[in-house]
Chains A and B, each alone.
Chain A
């Protein structure tokens, strides 16, 4: 159980971090950039929100299949393939929520701080402080989606005991075997992890305010 829960957290936390590294700069570009292509990225994020995890799992599984285009990497049925699928699933969510968080700020804020003679570097620090809680909430939502996802995890990880078995795939297997007690304990741990992550995020938000 401990091993399964730890792998769930590790894969999803890693996927969320990588997704944030892609999605947050993308969101910054969408909100503050000048290029007309910004709308295209926002459209990709928005459409991506509705992307079925099963489709993502299928695409990743196909790409990493032994005879597939990236088969030589030998990554299928490893945590890395699972993380990759989760990254694709989570980027649109983190990106869209980050755009919403950034747009919630007064667009003239940096200009107004400049108008008080506040230097560029300090202005950036103050702006970061303003947007941090919104971005943290976006990442939390991403983590929640990643760790709760089952279809892609099954297809790309294969639910191999001790290697790629995570809480969601373990639950599915347990239910398939009729082991409801086991299934309930997996789900309880999953809910506990999500509750804990939410609690940490809310505490951080309150401290920042």
Chain B
């Protein structure tokens, strides 16, 4: 259940993304790079949500967490339950129960009956994560999923994603500007710059390498500590 891409070429407006090879499995691949480098475009192309040329393989059931998750009119619980695939074995009661469990997992149980559009940015990200995990994906695409979370909530949610991936073998791709996110969830990373891969390898390789962007991320992470 890996995510694999070869000779991927995607265009969004004037921006061109050109990635020769990409691979992600349950050990996680981080997509790093400055703003506008093409991280989101790569995630969308890998999911088939924007047209892209090249050879792309991904699991049948994938889920995405967008950087700015969209909320539908309705309660938090309902916003989660819409993602549960309509299988014959899932009765409305069972769907409701699963959505509640997913909300508990992300620490949003209290807001289950609140209007989803009244949630804060951080709460929306939690909802989006619950909504993605509730459909039991085999491929998970996360775009800055922890950006607006409280610092003390991030480790728990990283652990939630990591343990899900370990348990199910779900491939994880995460676009992030946080080295901590990448190190916690991924064994590998690619660094994008202006739509092209400027470095790739294991997290340790990148940490010890000479890529200026990774170096800047590391310095930033150290300062924050």
Interfacial chain A residues near B68, Cβ < 8 Å: 106, 108
A117 interface neighbour in B66, B70, B72, B135, Cβ under 8 Å: B135
Interfacial chain A residues near B63, Cβ < 8 Å: 115-117
User: Do residues B66 and A115 form an inter-chain contact, with CB atoms below 8 A?
Assistant: yes
- Among B50, B73, B74, B82, residue most surrounded by chain A Cβ atoms (within 10 Å): B73
Interface residues of B in 58-98 (CB under 8 A from A): 61-64, 66, 68-74, 82-83, 85
Interface string of A110-129 (1 = CB under 8 A from B): 01111111100000001001
User: Do residues A115 and B73 form an inter-chain contact, with CB atoms below 8 A?
Assistant: no
Bound: A63/B28 CA distance, A: 70
Interface string of B152-171 (1 = CB under 8 A from A): 00000000000000000000
**B141 close to chain A: CB less than 8 A:** yes
User: Do residues B82 and A114 form an inter-chain contact, with CB atoms below 8 A?
Assistant: no
**B131 close to chain A: CB less than 8 A:** yes
Interfacial chain A residues near B47, Cβ < 8 Å: 114-115
User: Do residues A118 and B83 form an inter-chain contact, with CB atoms below 8 A?
Assistant: yes
**A51 close to chain B: CB less than 8 A:** no
Q: How many whole Å from B43's CB to the nearest CB in chain A? A: 9
Q: How many A-B pairs fall under 8 Å by CB?
A: 53
Q: How many whole Å from B73's CB to the nearest CB in chain A? A: 6
**B132 close to chain A: CB less than 8 A:** yes
Q: How many whole Å from B188's CB to the nearest CB in chain A? A: 22
B83 interface neighbour in A106, A116, A130, A133, Cβ under 8 Å: A116
Interface string of B105-147 (1 = CB under 8 A from A): 0000000000100000000000000011001010001000000
**Count the A residues whose beta carbon is within 8 Å of the partner chain — how many?**
17
Bound: A111/B44 CA distance, A: 9
Q: How many whole Å from B120's CB to the nearest CB in chain A? A: 16
A209-B73 in contact given A116-B64, A116-B132, A126-B82 (Cβ < 8 Å)? yes
**A189 close to chain B: CB less than 8 A:** no
Interfacial chain B residues near A130, Cβ < 8 Å: 72-73
Interfacial chain A residues near B137, Cβ < 8 Å: 117
**A47 close to chain B: CB less than 8 A:** no
Q: How many whole Å from A133's CB to the nearest CB in chain B? A: 8
User: Do residues A209 and B66 form an inter-chain contact, with CB atoms below 8 A?
Assistant: no
Interfacial chain B residues near A118, Cβ < 8 Å: 82-83
Interface string of B37-57 (1 = CB under 8 A from A): 000000010010110000000
Nearest chain B residue, comparing its CB with the CB of A114: B49
Bound: A129/B78 CA distance, A: 13
Bound: A115/B142 CA distance, A: 11
Interfacial chain B residues near A129, Cβ < 8 Å: 72-73
B49 interface neighbour in A106, A109, A111, Cβ under 8 Å: A111
Q: Can you show 13 pairs from A to B with CB atoms below 8 A apart?
A: A109-B72, A111-B44, A111-B49, A112-B66, A113-B70, A115-B49, A115-B62, A116-B132, A117-B61, A126-B72, A129-B72, A130-B72, A209-B115
Q: Which residues of B contact A (CB under 8 A)?
A: 44, 47, 49-50, 61-64, 66, 68-74, 82-83, 85, 115, 131-132, 135, 137, 141
